[in-house]
Structures are given as structure tokens and as C-alpha cells.
Structure 1
């Protein structure tokens, strides 16, 4: 089979799973257009570890509803995909081989950073899935390194997805409608990221917090952007970024989806 790209997917709010929006429609189409993976590894913003990444080895991962205050329909969703413990163990081995300290969780399920987008992309829930955490306090460059260590999985037919959000400041949510235009402080950050990704300007991307406009306002904490760097690293050296989708939800969530392939 042809080598799969790696993906960065903005998952937005959990309601992405049940609302009709440009982003949800795009993800439904994306799952149908990609070559079918043998397994999926998701680096989710909603699983943070300390000191190094962790991988999930659960054979039958549970659907984790790690949120509150949303419609009952969200809590009714189950994503009963099989786990991928052998692939996850190989991921841990690849990380260890590159000197990355890694933990293994025997029972971690799928948080909404994984199942919301997979529910749209692969509604049959018939592709084995495992997760890998992001590392609290680790830099973008360190997450690139994690991704680079995982790159050999792509030759095994594994789809590596970084699931986060290109912008993510929920403190700015004021009950605005889903289709309100994005303010300049949100759009300018997204434009800067696209320009730097298009140019493969790794130094600027690693230093986005100092260089990008309104970086701290769009990401008061970094966990929702760090999965992008895992996907970027996993594409290998001299990768090429392609923005597959761009839209905004609630004005504050940039729903960009990027694919990374060898240039």
C-alpha cells in the first residue's frame, strides 16, 4: 500500500461529533478519500503525561466522555473500535530506541480528542486504534522528536494523527453562534501558521510562542497545538505541509486540518 500521510486535525468542541458544520462534513469525506489504514495512532491533546509520552495498550478501549455540560446525545456515543496493543508496543519500542522515556498504559481508553474525529472519519469503528499522550511542559521541538521516532509506523500502514486545535482559547467563548466570523487575533495566528508550514520554516514553528501574532492569546496553554508537532515530526525529514481544510467555529476555534507528506 502507499505510505499514508500524517495528519493534524483540529477537533474543536466535542459537539463536532453531532453538529453539521463545514469541519464535520470535511472529516466525513476525509475518511473516505484516504487509503484505508491498518491501524491508527492518535496523539491527543486530552491525554497529558509527565516526563515523557505514554502509549495505550488497551485491547478494547473504552469511550471516555471527558467533558461536562454538553447534550445527552454526546454521552450516548460509543466508539467501539478494537485496540491496537501490538502497534502501541512497537511505538513504545521505537521511542525507547531513540532515547525517549515512554510509559505504557494497559487500560487507557479513547478520549474525545480521538473518538470525536474518528466517529466522523471512520464511523464503522472497525480500524484498530491506540493513543499516545502529549507531554506537559515539553517543547514543540521535543514533540517533533517524538513524532520522528514514530515515523517507521507509517511503513506498516499506520495512520498517525495529531488531534488538537489550531487555536484554542475557550475563555473567549461568550455563547456566540457557531458560524460567527473569526476576529483578527484568531485569523492572524492561523495565517502565520499556514505561511510557516508552507515554507517548512521549522525554526519559526518551534519558536511560535515568541514569533506568531497573538500566540499566547490563542493558546493560553500549549496542549492543543503540540499534536501538530508530533504529526510534523512523524512525516520525516523534508516533509511538505498541505492544508486540507480551513474553517472557524464559534469565532475562536480554527478548525484547520493539515496533511504532512514527504516533499
Structure 2
């Protein structure tokens, strides 16, 4: 059975303990799948490399790649097994598409990976590996990555792009934002445009979102948190929204299934 490719918004590291709708939604991910995945390929905004890189680690560390958060977060571990065979398959598929890829024998799971995984599969039994993003190469490149990796969906592999539907963290320095702060128009306008383009199958517009979408650069001053969506789009095709919520007013936590 073919699995969808997913895009989820992982928000702040505290999402794993916060009482917010996105936390509750991520717990339901397994129920949205036609069958349990045999392995998971995570594309996280928090691993950036010059060329596509995939982790071959057999027992990936839990990386606490953040500072200034509650001490409880730093004690959390996600001891899922790695997926070196899947990593090799990723390299193979990318090569077929003419995309050279590197491997890492040391990369663990950053919070863009383990936070949503801990909520969805807390037993940490499904093998998982990560594929890095290349922020400087933009949306078209990441869509091509997804297209190359699409066969994995027929091989029992769940492809998850983990980022944020909107992500201008500079707003935290400008405004005293609370968990339930109202959503400003520049966030709503961008998110509504993206949703309409996704549901309408407007792939060309999504690849050119930075020029076409309202307030695109405001919502994504840098692209790393949206590019995982383009990987999922390439791997899956037509999208449908499976979650919508907002935290701190400016972080849209939307999620999509592409199938």
C-alpha cells in the first residue's frame, strides 16, 4: 500500500510538552496512515548541508539543538533505531535522478525530527533517518528531491518534511507574543495563499512562492522551514490539509498530506 508524504510544522521545541492543538494533532498521525510505516525518512529544517546528505547512523543520538528552554526538554531522549539501509536507498534513488548525495556517519535526530516523532510514535521503535536541506538551492531543487524519492512511498517508507508553515522568529524580539496571541494579517494572507495553491494543485506557483505569495519573505526570511514542504510535494503530488492551528500568533502549525 502506498503511504502519503507528509509536511508537519514542529514549532518551538516545547511543542512536545505544550498543551496546544498542534501537540494533540501530532499524536494522531499514525491513525491517518493506511498502514504503519516500516521506516521513516525525516527532512528537517534544522539540518542544512551544501549537498543532499543522509544519515547512516545505526543508533542516532537525540540532539538538543536549542538553548534557553525548560530543563525537562534536555532530559528527553528519542532512542529510535537508525535506518542505514534506507539511507543507502535514498542515495541510490537520488543518483538515478542525477543528484549526487553524501552520507553522514554521525548525524543524530535534531528537534525538527524527534519532537514530532516523539508525539506520534512515543515507543521509538520505527527506524528513522534524516535527509538534510540545502537552503541556498531553493524550492525547485527540493521539489526535485521529493520527485526522486517518491518510490519510497511504495516501499513502506513514510516521508515527513518537518518545518513551519510560517516562521519569522524576529517578531518575538519585536512584540510580546503569547501562546494565544491573535494572528496578524500578514500571516493569514500568506497561509491562505499557500493553502489555496496546495489544494488547487498549483505546483508552479508553489515553486515560485517567494515571488507570488503575499508577504512570503516576511513569513520566511530564510527558506529552510518551508523547503521540507516542497520535498513532500514532490514525493506525493496533490495535497490536502490535515491540520491548521496557530501558536504565538505568528507560527502557523499547518500540516499536509500529499498523495
Band of TM-score, shorter chain: over 0.9
Q: CA deviation at 1:203?
A: 1.3
Deviations 1:230-260 (A, max 9, x none): 001111xxx2210000000000100000000
Distance in 1, matches of 2:55 and 2:29, equals: 25
Distance in 2, matches of 1:233 and 1:200, equals: 12
2:73 equivalent to 1:74 = yes
3-state DSSP of counterpart to 1:169: coil
Contact 1:177 1:250 in 2 (8 A): yes
Which consecutive unaligned segments of at least 5 residues does structure 2 have?
A: none
Deviations 1:105-138 (A, max 9, x none): 0110000000000010100100000000001311
Q: CA deviation at 1:33?
A: 3.5
Aligned to 2:4: 5
Aligned to 1:158: 157
TM-score, with structure 2 as normaliser? 0.97
Distance in 2, matches of 1:260 and 1:46, equals: 22
Aligned to 1:131: 130
Distance in 1, matches of 2:114 and 2:211, equals: 32
Deviations 1:67-107 (A, max 9, x none): 00000111111000000000111101110111111110011
Aligned to 1:250: 248
Q: CA deviation at 1:168?
A: 0.3
Contact 1:32 1:121 in 2 (8 A): no
Q: CA deviation at 1:185?
A: 0.4
Aligned to 1:55: 54
Q: How does 1:140-151 map to 2 (within 5 A)?
A: 140-151=139-150
3-state DSSP of counterpart to 1:160: strand
3-state DSSP of counterpart to 1:233: helix
Corresponding residue pairs, total: 256
Q: CA deviation at 1:31?
A: 2.5
Deviations 1:44-71 (A, max 9, x none): 1000011x21000000000000000000
Aligned to 2:228: 227
Provide closer, same or farther for how the CA distance between residues 79 and 226 of structure 1 changes in structure 2, counting only shifts above 3 A. Answer: same
Aligned to 1:43: 43
3-state DSSP of counterpart to 1:258: strand
TM-score, with structure 1 as normaliser? 0.96
3-state DSSP of counterpart to 1:43: strand
Distance in 2, matches of 1:24 and 1:32, equals: 15
Aligned to 2:180: 179
3-state DSSP of counterpart to 1:224: coil
My pick for the range that moved more, 54-63 or 29-38, is: 29-38
Aligned to 1:214: 215
